[in-house]
Structures are given as structure tokens and as C-alpha cells.
Amino acid sequence: MQRSLRPLLLALPLFAALACASSGEPIAVESRPVAVALRLGGAGVGEGALIGLPGGRSFEYDPATLRLLRVREGDFARREGESLVPTGDVVQEREAAGGEPLARITGSPPLVARLEGVWVRDLASPVDSTRRRPTPGLTYALVDPEGVVRARIEESVRAIEMEDGWGFVRSFLVKPGPYPCELALDLVQPIGGLGPSGVVTTGNARRQDWSLESGGRAVQAVHRSKPTVYQRLTKSQPRGVRYDARRAYVDLDRSPIRFEIAEQYVTEWSDDTPRALDAALRR
């Protein structure tokens, strides 16, 4: 089925590249990240997104569910007539799960994820709040069968710099709708067999304060996805967020909740491997 990309908010260098590129010519992301909406043919299917980071990695979101579907490496896209088609080599493909929705409310029908926009914003660095850097992301609404927006999510992506592999962080800001609820978000999708894992807890159990800003909680898991390739997940667990093997559960009342999931891929594992991943989470 034909995919096309409709630019909503682009860095000017990429916009110029799109305007000048011939049909079939690859387009790369160079100095500034980009985000474009992705439309899949067919009435009512909706829009997904394609996010590109300098250095050649891009993130493709499923138009039907807005789940992260593929991580790619290489050129961002190519023109085919009036459309853009993702072209990077697939380095990670998430399980499609037979159309499993991105979100549901406990005990209720699934929610529909509806893209409201893509963007590149100058956001504060998680390491140094005095510095700002361009960060790409998307905003989507979670809508119940009656058409009520039960929550809105702003998701952004940033790269992790390391010497022994590569990685990225997905940051989620969940804004509550008119009614309190517990959201189940299909965001945690381990790939491959589970290896050694552990949980690090440094929060205040008596006060039930698990925010990272207060020294909170990080959940860690290690997976072997291919021979000699390891994936490690670290998930910040502020108050109101918990996880099982594949989902994040967010307890929404009146206040927005922010949490992050970091993923790291290496070809050789050592005791020093986790440090860059742990340091990348917002504190």
C-alpha cells in the first residue's frame, strides 16, 4: 500500500532538499532533525509520522495506530512523484501485534490514536537545562468511542551519544482529559529473548515519590535481539507510572505526567555499557 509523507513542520535545509530532489533521489537529514506526517491511503486510516535525526536514523510511526513501527538507518526518504517514501534500512521492526491499538483504558474499549501535529522544537537539554536543542516530536489525541479525548500525548525523540553502540530516548508528556483514568499504553515492546535484568530503586518508598527529579525509580531490562546484538531498556518511573512486560500504565488524574524510555543497542556487552543509557534519562 502506498505511503506518502505530508510535510507539516520541517527544517529549512530539508525543505529545500525536498523542493530540489528529483523523483527517486534519496534525501538525507543533515544538521537539524525533522518531522513529517505520514498518510496511508484509504479513508479513515489516519496519519502516522516519520521523524529523522541527524546522523541517519529515522523513526516510522504506524498510521493506523501511531505505534512506533520501525527504526531505520540511512537516507531519510525519496520522492516518488508528489509523495515521499521512507528509504532507510530497517534496523528494528516492532511487532505489529495484529492491529493492537496504542492505548486503552482499563476495563473499557480501545482508544483511537489521532495525530494532531508534528513539530521540531528547541527544548531544554536533559543533562543541562540551560542549553536548548532542536528536538522532533508528534502530538496525538487518544479518543474513546463516544468521541471524547481522554488524553493527549506529546512524544519526542532524541539520540544517545555513545562509543560502543547507538541508542535513543522517547520522552512522553501525557496530558489528562476531562475524566480520571488509568491508561494502558503499548509502548514497551521488547525484541528477542530476555536476558539478565534488574530494577534500580532510589526513591522514597514511604512518601511514594518515584519522580526522577527526586531521585526516583528506573526499571531496567536486557534483551538479546540478534546474535551478538543486545538491546537494553531503561524506563524512568515517576509517580503514577508502572510497567509490565510490554505496556506502560499511566494513572491520570488532573496533572500531566512525564516519563521516558531509553533504548541502547550494542554488539559487545561489558560492565560499562549501561552508563550512557542511564545518563540519558531526564533527571
Distances in whole angstroms, Cα of residue 70 to Cα of each of 165, 174, 189, 225? 18, 22, 12, 15
For the chain, give percent helix, strand, coil, nearest 5: 10, 55, 40
Residue 59: closest CA among 148, 149, 182, 158 = 158
What are the two backbone dihedrals, phi and then psi, of residue 77, each rounded to the nearest 5 degrees? Answer: -165, 175
For residue 220, the one-letter residue type is Q
Taking a C-beta distance cutoff of 8 angstroms, is the pair 221, 194 a contact?
yes
Say how many C-beta atoms besides its own lie within 10 A of residue 256's C-beta: 13
- Whether the full predicted model's pTM is greater than 0.75, yes or no, is yes
**What percent of the chain stands above pLDDT 70?**
63
- Exposed/middle/buried for 246, CB within 10 Å: 0-12, 13-18, 19+? middle
- What tens digit of pLDDT does each residue of 156-165 get? 999 987 777 7
The residue extents of the domains of the chain are: 3-97, 101-280
Task: Using the structure block, give the residue that is written with the C-alpha cell 543509557.
Answer: 277
Give the pLDDT of residue 268.
66
Which residue ranges in the chain fall short of pLDDT 70?
Answer: 1-26, 39-45, 82, 95-99, 125-130, 189-218, 221-229, 267-283
Spatial CB neighbours of 271, under 8 Å, sequence gap ≥ 6: none
Residue 197: closest CA among 282, 274, 95 = 274
